[in-house]
Structure 1
Amino acid sequence: MVTKMIMSTLDQIKVFLEKIMCKDKTVIACVGSPLRSDDRLGLLIYDKIKDLANNNISIIECEYGLENCFTEIVAENPATLLIIDAVYNESLNPGTTVLTSIENIREKISLATTHTIPLRMILELIMKKTNIKNTYILGIRAKNLDIGMHVSPEIKKVVEDFAKILKEIITSCGK
């Protein structure tokens, strides 16, 4: 499993996601702010994959923060939670994608979203109410977090790439 490790190549991430998403009940929580430019990326991915949910994989839209879809996640009672969100780290180039366990969030990368409840706290609450064994962040380094609707070209490309990967995985898991 991904513990104290960050994966960043598309191939590494795809192979890992195939293993975890097809195995147990998984919730994909797509987080973002529709009015903060590149922070919309989780919501854009949601729009591209939302119709692919099946008995094993649920896809949830979390506008403005994970805490806003707490009830939906708990109701699904997944074994695995995959959070897709914009991240920020000065050492990463815009559009860089990372897949990491929740332990790395505070240490290595920061979520770009302004959450009203700290991420660790909301995850602890979710884990107390569910059977979640594994929580991962699929983060994409945002370029622009200004107020607005414009998404940077490099972010649009990564959104397309990951939507395609997730579609392939979800479709193959449903067979």
Structure 2
Amino acid sequence: MKNEKCGIDEELEKWLSDAEKVVVAGIGNPIRMDDFVGVKIIRDLRGKVSEKVYLLECETVPESFIQQIISFNPTHVLLIDAAILGLKPGEAKLVKPEELAVSPAYSTHMLPLRVFCEHLSQMISVKIALLLI
């Protein structure tokens, strides 16, 4: 999904161009400092987004929030998580769920994110992407 000619802002804008309702889910372990970046971003966004954006602090168990996601009936779901990408600290990459390994070598999640995304997309028709930092 990465387009070398445009920055992450432009990638997100393009991905969200047809969005009607969006779930933004922050993922991360509060004990593991930098791993908590997804939840930190959600906290920073509180009070700054429209009612068409549903913010979730999922910590390490996004699967526990599937019913809330389905009930909101989003057109788009953006998962924000820390990842080992070989990028400079703080740099981000927008990826499709199918780009993730089914069973990553290392994960702080109970359920691999790719499996979570596959399960969610079987339950509702939604565009899913991950913003990995």
Shorter chain as normaliser: what TM range?
0.7 to 0.9
Which residue identity lines up with residue 61 of structure 1 in the other structure? E
Partner of 1:114: 108
- Is the contact between residue 64 and residue 115 of structure 1 (CA under 8 Å) also seen in structure 2? yes
Among 58, 64, 68, the alignment partner of 1:68 is 64
Q: Which runs of 4+ in 1 moved over 6 A?
A: none
Structure 2 unaligned blocks of 5 or more:
none
Give the TM-score of the pair, scaled to structure 1. 0.64
Tell me by how many angstroms 1:82 deviates: 0.8
Tell me by how many angstroms 1:93 deviates: 3.0
Tell me by how many angstroms 1:87 deviates: 0.5
Partner of 2:94: 99
Among 42, 46, 64, the alignment partner of 1:46 is 42
Tell me by how many angstroms 1:119 deviates: 1.8
- Is the contact between residue 3 and residue 11 of structure 2 (CA under 8 Å) also seen in structure 1? no
- Is the contact between residue 27 and residue 39 of structure 2 (CA under 8 Å) also seen in structure 1? yes
Structure 1 unaligned blocks of 5 or more:
141-175
Tell me by how many angstroms 1:127 deviates: 1.2
Q: Which secondary structure state, in structure 2, belongs to the residue aligned with residue 70 of structure 1?
A: helix
- Is the contact between residue 87 and residue 112 of structure 1 (CA under 8 Å) also seen in structure 2? no
- Is the contact between residue 97 and residue 117 of structure 2 (CA under 8 Å) also seen in structure 1? no
Partner of 1:59: 55
Q: CA RMSD in A?
A: 2.5
Which residue identity lines up with residue 137 of structure 1 in the other structure? L
Q: 1:8 to 1:34 in 2, by over 3 A?
A: farther
Is 2:118 the counterpart of 1:127? no
Q: 1:61 to 1:88 in 2, by over 3 A?
A: same
Which of 1 and 2 has greater Rg?
A: 1
Question: What is the identity percentage for the equivalent residue pairs of Structure 1 and Structure 2?
Answer: 30
Tell me by how many angstroms 1:48 deviates: 0.6
**Quick one: distance in 2 between partners of 1:53 and 1:68?**
23
Q: Which secondary structure state, in structure 1, belongs to the residue aligned with residue 46 of structure 2?
A: helix
Give the TM-score of the pair, scaled to structure 2. 0.82
Is 2:97 the counterpart of 1:139? no
- Is the contact between residue 39 and residue 113 of structure 1 (CA under 8 Å) also seen in structure 2? no
Partner of 1:17: 12
Which residue identity lines up with residue 127 of structure 1 in the other structure? S
**Structure with the largest fraction of helix:** 1
